[in-house]
Structure 1
Amino acid sequence: MYYTRLQVVCSPEFSEILMAEVAEAGFDTFMETERGFEAYVEKNQYTKDKLQEVKEKYSGITPVVFYLDRVEKKNWNEEWEKSYEPILVENKCLIRASFHQPEKTYPYEIIITPKMSFGTGHHQTTYLMIKSQLEMDHTNKVVMDAGTGTGVLAILASKLGASRVEAIDIDEWSILNSKENADLNGCPNISIRQGKLSDLTFEGDFDIILANINKNILLEELHQYVAYLKPGGRLLLSGFYEKDIPDLLTEALRYALQHVQTDVRDNWASLLLAR
């Protein structure tokens, strides 16, 4: 098994937007570097034409270099530990690695050991999701985490009092990693399964559905979220830019979802919707 690695050299102000554009081409794991970032995808499961479009689009705006190669699949801890720092969300939730010693106690603490998985709290969308979750009542709620990555959102849901959490992801390493992290945080009520939402079945509906995925997948799967959401349930979305909000709200309106809240952080956005 190998990964295709895309090394991007760019100016810091273009790093985040290029990550989002590259994600649209199929890359699903990212690591910041001193000169830009690296993006990864299993084998060659990315859209070459889309990636070329991104390169051509931004080459006319800012100096940018793309370099593709292959790397063997490996545990990502060693690389990640070199640059990882704990993240504190709204002074309420500390996300740290096991090798970090917390300086003080916060209401919620999550220990994350990522492999090739997304969701350490560093990305703006993960921060937005956690911030919104902290404001939501999870007590005795049944929660779905679609595209769980490291499992950080599912773990927080459990810590916030959810009775049961169903976490799913299409990536094998995300499944292994999220299970490891759920165990590490003492969350036995999290069930983790591999597969697309359309290929899985669940017992009953959900009070809360969390989905921090890219815009295109959110638009594609929105009708499935609605089908699994209880009347009065909450759907929390992120993984898109502020400029994408109208498209998502238009699609949400098709399914009679109510717009409850919007949050923005460094041009990234989250939406809280209600059925």
Structure 2
Amino acid sequence: MDFITIKVTCDSALTDVLIAELFEAGFDSFQEFDDGFEGSCEQSQFDEKKVEVLFKQFSKVSYTVKEQEKINWNEEWEKNYNPIIVENRCIVRASFHEPKPEFEYEIIVTPKMSFGTGHHATTYQVLDYQMELDHQEKKVLDVGTGTGILAIMAAKRGAIKIVATDIDDWCIENSEENFALNNVKGVELIKGEIDKVKQADFDIVIANINKNVLLDQIGDYARRLKLDGQLILSGFYESDISDLESEAMKNGLYKIHSTTRDKWAMLALEKRSV
């Protein structure tokens, strides 16, 4: 399936506004930079007229749009990919790397996409926190699973049931392969939005997405979480913590831990009775 990628150059003060507007226009994956951001969506979801109308409102914003064919990430990553080591306890490596049994946790990835491999500071921080969080006999929901590595870590940490969701065909395909590579069985993999998840008794919910999606869906996460359960959020900047914490409190979720890395943040919240 082909994708549309939009590269936006703008002042940082406009980034959140434009991402929110593009999310409404069908774009579902974003990556921020110092001078703007990139967004992507399936070609079938792209509405060129809606995008043109949006950017006519901002005279000092420029953008380019291009079609992107499905890439052979195996070939690309073999040229450039290096294993990721998380706090000297976990290694995330590709299938073409040598095994490293000396690490407490070894996660093997066959790449079909570019996000969720542990290279990004958000994924790194969630993996780090997971290694300290009790998963034994727990039910875990991984929203926006991507490569599936956070669900894989949950399995390695002893989770009894794992549900993983994503809206992207590539991610569903990739996570299935990665679950098999890591001998992780029994994951319920759902293609679609959070409303496709009917279960409401999870001990742990993980969502490593982006600020706007998290703010929009935090109530959905809370409703699927047990009392005293934990919600782990990432995919946003350190400066966004207060906004997310404020929205979380409206849904009975209270901060118990947070970390930052390269200006990106991870937030852990606990569900309490109101």
Q: Which residue number corresponds to residue 201 of structure 1?
A: 198
State the match for 1:183 in structure 2.
180
Q: Which residue of structure 2 aligns with residue 266 of structure 1?
A: 262
Which blocks of at least 5 consecutive residues in structure 2 are unaligned? none
Q: Which residue of 2 aligns with 1:173?
A: 170
Aligned equivalent of 1:213, options 188, 209, 227: 209
Instruction: Report the Cα offset of residue 6 of structure 1.
Output: 4.3
Query: How far apart in 2 are the matches of 1:210 and 1:160?
Result: 14
Q: Is residue 2:103 matched to residue 1:106? A: yes
Q: Check the 8 A contact 2:204/2:229 in 1, yes or no.
A: yes
Query: What is the letter of the counterpart of residue 42 of structure 2?
Result: E
In structure 2, the CA distance between the partners of 1:2 and 1:256, relative to structure 1 (3 Å rule), is same
- Provide the rounded CA distance (Å) in 1 between the counterparts of 2:181 and 2:173: 12
Question: Does structure 2 conserve the Cα–Cα contact (< 8 Å) formed by 1:163 and 1:189?
Answer: no
Hey, what's the Cα distance between the residues in 1 that align with 2:57 and 2:151? 35
Q: Determine which of 84, 89, 97 is the counterpart of 1:92.
A: 89
On the 8 A contact 2:190/2:196 being kept in 1, the answer is: no
Shift of 1:22: 8.1
Preserved CA contact (<8 Å) 2:30 2:37: no
Q: 2:117 aligns with which of 116, 120, 132?
A: 120
**Count of equivalent residues:** 260
Partner of residue 242, structure 2: 246
| 8 Å contact from structure 1 (residues 22, 54) kept in 2 | no
Query: When the two structures are superposed, what TM-score results if normalisation uses the length of structure 1?
Result: 0.83
2:126 corresponds to which residue?
Answer: 129
Tell me which of 219, 225, 232 is aligned to 2:221: 225
CA deviation map 1:137-183 (0-9, x unaligned): 00110000000001010000000000010000111111111111001
CA contact (8 A) 1:155 1:190 kept: no
Structure-2 residue corresponding to 1:2: 2
Q: How does 1:46-57 map to 2 (within 5 A)?
A: 48=51, 56=60
Q: What is the alpha-carbon root mean square deviation over aligned residues?
A: 3.2
Q: TM-score, normalised by structure 2?
A: 0.83
Given the superposition, is the C-alpha separation of residues 50 and 264 from structure 1 closer, same or farther in structure 2, using an over 3 Å criterion? farther
Aligned runs of 1:154-173 on 2, under 5 Å?
Answer: 154-173=151-170
- Determine whether 1:41 maps to 2:41: yes
Report the residue type matching 2:90 in the other structure: C
Structure 1 gap segments, 5+ residues each: 60-65
- Does the C-alpha gap of structure 1 residues 55 and 244 become closer, same or farther in structure 2, counting only changes over 3 Å? farther
Tell me by how many angstroms 1:52 deviates.
Answer: 8.0
* Structure-to-structure mapping, 1:9-48, within 5 angstroms: 25=22, 26=27, 28=29, 40-43=40-43, 45=46, 48=51
Q: 1:170 to 1:117 in 2, by over 3 A?
A: farther
Q: Is the partner of 2:3 in helix, strand or coil?
A: strand
Q: Distance in 2 between matches of 1:178 and 1:22?
A: 29
Taking the aligned partners of 1:54 and 1:139, their CA distance within structure 2 comes to 51
2:100–2:106 CA contact under 8 A, matched in 1? no
1:38 deviation in Å?
A: 7.2
Shift of 1:68: 2.7
The percentage of counterpart residues that share the same residue type is: 46
The residue type paired with residue 3 of structure 1 is F
Q: Which stretch shows the higher mean deviation, 71-80 or 209-218? A: 71-80
Distance (whole Å) between structure 2 residues aligned to residue 53 and residue 144 of structure 1 = 39
Change over 3 Å in CA distance of 1:82–1:56 after alignment to 2: farther
Q: How far apart are residue 21 of structure 1 and its match?
A: 8.8
* Contact 1:5-1:68 within 8 A present in 2 as well: yes
Task: For residue 235 of structure 1, give the secondary structure of its aligned residue in structure 2.
Answer: strand
Shift of 1:260: 0.2
